[in-house]
Amino acid sequence: MSVKPEMLFLKQEDVVKAGLLDMKMVLEVTEKTFKMIGEGQVINPPKTMLGMPDLENWTSFCMSMPSYIGGDIDIAGFKWASEAVYNMGKPGMPYGIDVVMLTDPKTVYPKAIMDGTLITAMRTSAAAGVAAKYLARKDSKKACLVGAGVIGRTMVMAMMEAVPSLEEIHLIDLDLSKAEGIAKEYEGKYNVIPGTSIEAAAKDADIIVTMTTSRKPIVKTEWVKSNATVIQMSVNEIEEGILMNANKKVVDNWVQLSHGTGTLINKVATEGKLTEDMVASLPQLAAGQKPGRESDDELCVCCTYGIGSVDVAVAHKIYMNALEKGIGQKLMLWDNPLWV
């Protein structure tokens, strides 16, 4: 009996209805995915980036992030992640626009196509939340979050969920109005303090998280406490000294970061200052294969670049929720295949 090539299309409003903005759920899915990677249940090739007009001087890019997740999830898929400098400052045009496709690993029929832009925002911050769970001091009170874009908004959610001891979050951006806008959104729920000075907020912060579009370091070594937790979500936002001084150095994916053009990890790896055996990975922490923070005196640094399997896992959860709730539009890839 032939299988119908039916897939579910979920627009952004649909993925929200299907529960995507539940940060606790996204954190659980993200940590489980990291654990499965550590246990060898996930195939996650490095992402492939298409920079335009070229990789070094891109003004826009598209990136393919494929993966297969086994175990009780058993799904294949990829995220097509895109960003455009042109969109910045244009009303109603997001800087990043992503799409996720899910595929049945047995038949390779597509199962779903959905907006991935908000999935990216939620899972990016969730990855930082998982890192903070394993690396932050349990008595952490103050966080400095650098970047009040889309990720800044979800990072507040992730840090407060992952590190419940936090009492204040300093949200820093060159555009104070953006930080003030997010602070107002969370008024009465979280203590978010807007500002423009990274130095002032970072110097006594227990946790520092960077999530900007900067292509050069913006956090200086002397601003970081000797027992802080620093999480870099982009490729080159912290000075080399912060990483090299760390007692615990963690990455989400060594191969991807060490080969990624323009990344801090690539720089120190190429120069022979850092090798894979000197770092732990988030999958190793989640799988209990390497320890996270072991002392309140440690400086812990985590560098992430995003891995497609987390997008696919979150998208699969949203897909299952949508099926259960009857959300989305069903589409057929063909009525009758022409050449089989």
Asked if residue 339 is part of any domain, the answer here is no
Are 202 and 54 within one domain? no
Tell how strand 192-195 and strand 75-84 pair up. unpaired
Give yes or no: residues 314 and 286 share one domain.
Answer: no
Task: Please indicate, yes or no, whether residues 25 and 79 belong to a single structural domain of this protein.
Answer: yes
244 and 210 within one domain = yes
Query: 72: Cβ–Cβ under 8 A, 6 or more apart, which residues?
Result: none
Condensed to tens digits (0 to 9), the pLDDT of residues 106-130 reads: 999 999 999 999 999 999 999 999 9
Render pLDDT for 193-230 as a digit per residue (tens, 0 to 9). Answer: 999 999 999 999 999 999 998 889 999 999 999 999 99
Whether 337 is in a domain gets the answer no
260-316 tens-digit pLDDT? 878 999 999 999 999 999 999 999 999 999 999 999 999 999 999 899 999 999 999
pLDDT tens readout for residues 35-56: 999 999 999 998 899 999 998 8
What one-letter code names the amino acid at 70? Answer: G
In a domain, 207, yes or no: yes
For residues 188 and 190, what is the distance between their CA atoms, to the nearest angstrom? 6
CB within 8 Å of 176: residues ≥ 6 apart: 194, 195, 196
Residue 46's pLDDT is 86
Starting from the edge strand earliest in sequence, which strands make up the sheet with 168-172, in order?
A: 192-195, 168-172, 142-146, 207-210, 229-232, 300-303, 248-251, 280-281
CA 244 to chain centre: 23
pLDDT at 146 over 90: yes
Q: How far apart are CA 262 and CA 257, in angstroms?
A: 9
Residue 128 covered by a domain: no
CATH number, domain with residue 72: 3.30.1780.10
Q: Domain containing 243: what range?
A: 137-303
141 with 97, same domain: the answer is no
| 267 and 326 fall within a common domain | no
What domain count does the chain have? 2
- What's the whole-number average pLDDT of the chain? 96
1 pLDDT higher than 70: no
Q: Which amino acid is at 247?
A: N
Residues 273 and 148 in one domain: yes
Tell me whether residue 130 is in a domain.
no
Examine the domain organization and report whether 157 and 290 are in the same domain: yes
The model's pTM: 0.94
Given a cut of 90, whether residue 13 has pLDDT beyond it is: yes
